[in-house]
Structure 1
């Protein structure tokens, strides 16, 4: 009976918050190695971020499946990295491992932080557990702590629908510079070869292998290898 009352109360809170006008501040892709794990968006009622403001909502859209128990453990590891220790933390993590379902590709997991409490929402379903202010602040810190790179980008107001992607190399400028170097070197090599041919009287059968060797050496020096850093296909710049 108590659980039913709590679920009804939580549903009432969620309906009120869901009807709030959430405005996106920014979103960032979280990329690990060659894999995009999720895209995280930060929302507030005003579309702006002020430190420690409430309410706010963090929304993660997953590009890869994640085990619910692993997600709970990853929260604890993030707290450890930030120097955060919750009261009865082991019990809290164990509680999370039991209530968090497995996350599939394209699932959306949100955390809504209110003034004195918070809760998770998977897609359109409220996970029937309420968390206190200490836990809520700790969850928000994982992504909004100023020491975290992804947090520094999230709190910047979004401009012209630009999505920040972690570790995207500057491919365009590098390619243009290398193309210029290739053209200059090929021009110099051609001039040098013509000058040698005009000055030296070398038998025809001897001249050919020398030119071939020189061309091989030049090719190895000017060979351009594209950057191997991973770039999501949709974020690749046009070259």
Structure 2
């Protein structure tokens, strides 16, 4: 009788392992996340400086609404670069935007070493994306996972650069939120 139970337990364990391997999709690429659940575009825009287009960006959520309302809602903010920028300059520009918004340095300083570590140098044609799920911020570079920040307040702090009412680029904010300028 004990052999039967050992055999049964091993069989069930192996079956669960095999099913788990075939059902679970790795979330190490942004494409896998997008295929897992449908996302609706909230808005998109192009950031230009004088005559140069620097990047295109779009905001997607599982509901088509921003801000997301529940922990079940998910968000993707994707930036497609039309020119290059070094990792160092990218972090510096991020800090400049937080300063413009009036964010206290102690609120963002803890994230700077992480951003310096995970953000690569960007070349024309590269993309950098933020995926927000259950208050966790996950970054993807050219569709591949590059790092996570597990502090719930980070995603809003980062997205405020573009989506806060105090943003330095109010026209981009309106376009990302899908609001027409004449509204």
Q: Do both proteins adopt the same fold according to a TM-score greater than 0.5, normalized to the shorter chain?
A: yes
Unpaired runs of 5+ residues, structure 2, are: 1-25
How many angstroms apart in 1 are the aligned matches of 2:142 and 2:124? Answer: 12
Name the CA shift for 1:139/1:151 in 2 (closer, same or farther; >3 Å). Answer: same
- Which residue in 2 is equivalent to 1:63? 82
User: Rg: which structure is higher?
Assistant: 1
State the shift of 1:21 in Å: 0.9
- Which residue in 2 is equivalent to 1:44? 61
Matched residue count: 148
Name the CA shift for 1:129/1:51 in 2 (closer, same or farther; >3 Å). Answer: closer
- Which residue in 2 is equivalent to 1:141? 160
Alpha-carbon contact 1:73-1:93 (below 8 Å) kept: no
- Which residue in 2 is equivalent to 1:155? 177
State the shift of 1:88 in Å: 5.8
Q: Could you give the per-residue CA deviations for residues 91-112 of structure 1, whole angstroms, max 9, x where no partner exists?
A: 4213211221111101111111
Q: Which moved more, 1:85-94 or 1:34-43?
A: 85-94
> TM-score, normalised to structure 2's length?
0.71
> TM-score, normalised to structure 1's length?
0.55
| CA root-mean-square deviation | 2.4
State the shift of 1:42 in Å: 0.8
State the shift of 1:84 in Å: 1.8
Name the CA shift for 1:124/1:65 in 2 (closer, same or farther; >3 Å). Answer: same
State the shift of 1:153 in Å: 2.0
Give secondary structure in 1 for the equivalent of 2:114.
Answer: helix
**Structural mapping, 1:151-230, within 5 Å:** 151-156=173-178
Unpaired runs of 5+ residues, structure 1, are: 1-10, 159-163, 165-239
Alpha-carbon contact 2:68-2:75 (below 8 Å) kept: no
How many angstroms apart in 2 are the aligned matches of 1:129 and 1:50? Answer: 21
